[in-house]
Amino acid sequence: MFEEWIKKHLPKDIPSDIINNCVNLCGYDIWGLTIYCEDDRGPEKAVFTARNQEELRIWAFKQVAADIAQRMELRSRPNDNLRWRYVRDHAENGRWLYIEHSRYQYNTIDDSRLAWFETYLRLVKAVMPAA
């Protein structure tokens, strides 16, 4: 429904295969101004109801931007197993000491969601109305 508009507002440096896989809003049905989440085990759930066509278009762009940002983050990490095997634990004498990643250990310095969120914000900034 908004594929051409979304493609027009995305940066030109995003690979076309990522754009083509993301702009079709898989998993959602749009009926009028209401977005429904596709569900194969019962009734569909309304996820978002827009007040007008512009608000619906912005919602769709945000969904596509989040998907693109996540795919680009995954593509930028060639071998995730090596990256997360050791995590920063603490510093001694001005140097980081690492421990083996044996269970989930949250560390904001090595959090991969930071790059994803930064890409998402850069994409969405182009279409958001000024407050």
65-74 pLDDT, tens digit each: 888 887 877 6
How many domains is the chain built from? Answer: 1
Question: Which has more pLDDT, 115 or 36?
Answer: 36
pLDDT, tens digit (0-9, with 9 covering 90-100), for 89-103: 778 888 887 776 655
- 8-16 own/partner pairs: CB under 8 Å, 24+ apart: 9/61, 9/126, 9/127, 10/64, 10/68, 10/123, 10/126, 11/122, 11/123, 11/126, 14/68, 14/72
Q: How large a percentage of the chain has pLDDT more than 70?
A: 73
Residues composing the chain:
131
pLDDT, tens digit (0-9, with 9 covering 90-100), for 40-59: 676 678 888 999 999 988 88
Burial 70-79 (b: 16+ CB within 10 A, else e): bbbbeeeeee
Confidence at residue 51, expressed as pLDDT on a 0 to 100 scale: 92
Does 94 reside within a domain? no
Does 41 reside within a domain? yes
Does 91 reside within a domain? no
Distances (CA, A) of 112 to 10, 106, 107: 22, 11, 10
Does 116 reside within a domain? yes
Q: Which domain holds residue 67?
A: 3-77+112-125
Does 117 reside within a domain? yes
> The pTM is what?
0.61
Mean pLDDT rounded to a whole number for the chain: 77
Confidence at residue 52, expressed as pLDDT on a 0 to 100 scale: 93
